[in-house]
Amino acid sequence: MLLFALCTWQVLVRGPLLDADIRLDHLLVGRGPRVVTEFCADLGNPQVALPALALALGYALRRGVRLPALAVALAMAAVPAVVVPLKALTGRPSPLDAAATGYFPSGHGATAAVAYGGAALLLAHAHGGRPRWPLPVALVLVLATGTGLVLRGYHWPLDVLAAGCLGVILLAPARWLSGRGAAGSPPRASRAPAAPGR
């Protein structure tokens, strides 16, 4: 939350962090194979990220993971409710077109962070936290999205960093519910011996 606040403050006051951000962006834009960087940037499109989250939500609900699923769905719904006013407030220009504004924070970056991060939380919670692979896979997808957005020139690095921080903030209630084994998690099999004759 502090990092998100720092990024937002620096964008609003045009602070020294913004100068470093601009220099870093100029070093990165256009690098990498276009087909790869475009694919990575597209991972943050709602048409890609939301179906992935919808599948995880459906699976979690089928497994009885209700409260964390609700928290993740609300986090996803909160993305535009938070991002759109911030874009209007900061009015940050595009890296490629100074006339276009409203680029901080990255909506695609926040969508990817909440969709893939939320899906990973739900998949892990649905199995009692045993599978370790969902969170690393989500992290790779979110980092790939942010990298693609920067390399293609769609967003400044600071836009993407703030979007990732925002995703963590919005998913905090779902993470808390998953961590405490909220009601609605799948029932565990009893270890008590079966009654005779059954």
pLDDT digits (tens, 9 = 90+) for 116-156: 999 999 998 888 767 788 899 999 999 999 999 999 999 99
Residue 189, domain member (yes or no): no
- CA 159, 164, 165, 167 dihedral sign is positive
pTM of the model: 0.85
Residue 168, domain member (yes or no): yes
Q: Taking a C-beta distance cutoff of 8 angstroms, is the pair 43, 139 a contact?
A: no
pLDDT digits (tens, 9 = 90+) for 103-119: 999 999 999 999 999 99
Residue 107, domain member (yes or no): yes
Q: In this structure, what token pair is assigned to residue 101?
A: 């504004």
Residue 134, domain member (yes or no): yes
Residue 39, domain member (yes or no): yes
Quote the domain boundaries for residue 58: 35-179
pLDDT digits (tens, 9 = 90+) for 8-39: 999 999 889 999 999 999 999 989 899 999 99
Residue 6, domain member (yes or no): no
> Structural domain tally of the chain?
1
pLDDT value of position 56: 95
